[in-house]
Amino acid sequence: MSSRQIQRPIGRSGVSASAVGLGTWAIGGWMWGGTDEQASIRAIEASIESGISLIDTAPAYGLGRSEEIVGKAIKGKRDKVVIATKCGLNWHSGKGNHFFDQDGKPVHRYLGADGIAHEIEQSLNRLGTDYIDLYITHWQDPTTPIAETMATLEKLKAAGKIRAIGASNVSAEDLELYVSAGQIDAIQERYSMIDREIETSLLPITQRNDIATLSYSSLALGLLTGMIDPSREFTGDDQRKGNPRFSAANRQKVAKLKQAIAPVAEQHKASMAQIVIAWTLAQPGITFGLCGARTAEQALDNARAGEITLGTNELAIIDTAIAAHLTAMDA
């Protein structure tokens, strides 16, 4: 395992992981135009070999597909990885709050004790493990009090089935309720150069309470890699199809950002994506940056970002470029 990867703690749990994590939503295929299992397994293996220990997945990513692929990839390597997976989106019962339909099945937000008990066993089986390092409530269930959900998660922790508790897609009010109900070690939220709302809503709470923050969509669904040509078209169920954020005008803005931060990238012999990830990890309150990869090449590219430390002057150059070029981005 690479010793150069930045390591950070997951709140007060006693569990630490690489600051760059592998996000496996795309590996599940759903909303990403399908998946190639063997390429995905190679991507996970390459991540681990490069020193990335944090692997984030969820049952909802392909209705269990992502967890199954992760399980195959980590077989014989469990001691080298920190697994984060989720609960709260289920399609086995009609309980809770209807959220959406997937593959003709209704998916509900449900964080009742019986739902979590079912989900944890399903996830452990798909992942081929007997414990989850970080167990995260995926979306919040308006029908179950947070205190009740936390009590269930604390029992799982006491039983040794999970090592740390997290929550995702929370409001500031939700997070305060989690804090008051027990030991929450992490949140997982969307954050990037163009999605910075949590800086004023959630990060003040996490920093006061020693809660780690996992940022997802750190590369804004690939937009901030600078690799998506203005003429590229998205097809099938790819969620970027028709997304105004991927307009030609926005891609041009990203191209200008890439040009502006090129000197920083050249100094580190790094790609734009690597510099964007390194910038994300340098932001106050951001502990981990989750980056998707569906090929070994992409995984290795992301891992390199976990070895980059940006200086104060470099961060200032990047911040100036963000202010100049990423303003008024479409939603």
Residue 33 identity (one-letter amino acid): G
| Rg of the chain taking only CA atoms, in angstroms | 19
**CA 73/CA 71 separation, integer angstroms:** 5
Place of tokens 């940022």: 215
102 contacts 30 by C-beta, under 8 angstroms:
yes
Note if 191 is an active site residue: no
Per-residue 3-state assignment (H helix, E strand, C coil) for 84-148: EEEECEECCCCCCEEEEEECCEEEEECCCHHHHHHHHHHHHHHHCCCCEEEEEECCCCCCCCHHH
325 contacts 258 by C-beta, under 8 angstroms:
no
- Judged by DSSP in three states, 8 sits in strand
**DSSP letters of 199-261?**
HHHTHHHHHHTT-EEEEE-TTTTTGGGT-S-TT----TT-TTTT-GGG-HHHHHHHHHHHHHT
What strands, in cross-sheet order, belong to the sheet with 89-90?
89-90, 105-109, 97-102
Active-site residue, selected from the candidate residues 61, 110, 178, 216 = 61
Of 222, 239, 217, nearest in space to 290 by CA? 217
**CA 146/CA 186 separation, integer angstroms:** 15
Enzyme catalytic residues: 61
